[in-house]
């Protein structure tokens, strides 16, 4: 791995995914002797609320399934999010929270979320 002429490096995707360094993650640096340590800044004590906050305003509503399918077939940058994904995050489900939150966070800055309604 090399530093570019602009002082940039690329963190391998395996490391980014494992540690949750997603697009938009705020990072800081710490120098200890000749070691440079990279760490996340401002980690929220409730990551579910933080993710929902990032998603606010990105979802659309009032569309039929046919309209959603027509849009997705047209190659637009929308993603249909099942309401269970939102519930995994809000309830911090022990089995699904990490996958759901990391997946949504990965797409949050590049896609519009279409969330299906919660059926009771």
For residue 96, what pLDDT is reported? 92
**What is residue 72's predicted lDDT score, i.e. its pLDDT?**
63
Q: Are residues 9 and 64 in the same domain?
A: no
Average pLDDT over residues 87-116: 85
- Spell out the SS3 assignment of the chain: CCCCCCCCCCCCHHHHHHHCCCCCCCEEEEEECCEEEEEECCCCCCHHHHHHHHHCCCEECCCCHHHHHHHHHCCCCEEEECHHHHHHHHCCCCCCHHHHHHHHHHHCCCCEEEECCCCC
The whole-number pLDDT of residue 46 equals 62
**Same-domain pairing of 84 and 94:** yes
How confident is the prediction for the chain on average, in pLDDT? 78
Q: How far apart are CA 92 and CA 48, in angstroms?
A: 7
pLDDT tens for each residue of 24-83: 888 888 888 889 888 888 655 566 666 676 666 665 667 777 776 666 665 556 788 888
Kindly state whether residues 50 and 37 are assigned to the same domain.
no
Looking at the structure, do residues 72 and 28 belong to the same domain, yes or no?
A: no
Structural domain count of the chain: 2
pLDDT recorded at residue 18: 81
Better-predicted residue by pLDDT, 110 or 46:
110
Cβ proximity of 111 and 79 under 8 Å: yes
CATH number at residue 39: 2.10.260
Range of the domain at 19: 1-43
């Amino acid at each position: 791995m090399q530093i570019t002429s602009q002082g940039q490096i690329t963190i391998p995707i395996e490391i980014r995914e494992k540690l949750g360094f997603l697009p938009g993650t705020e990072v800081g640096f710490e120098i200890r002797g000749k070691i440079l340590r990279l760490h996340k800044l401002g980690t929220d004590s409730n990551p579910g609320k933080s993710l929902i906050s990032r998603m606010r305003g990105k979802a659309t509503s009032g569309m039929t399934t046919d309209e959603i399918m027509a849009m997705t077939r047209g190659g637009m940058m929308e993603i249909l999010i099942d309401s269970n994904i939102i519930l995994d995050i809000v309830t911090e489900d022990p089995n699904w929270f990490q996958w759901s939150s990391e997946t949504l966070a990965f797409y949050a800055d590049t896609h519009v979320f279409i969330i299906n309604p919660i059926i009771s």
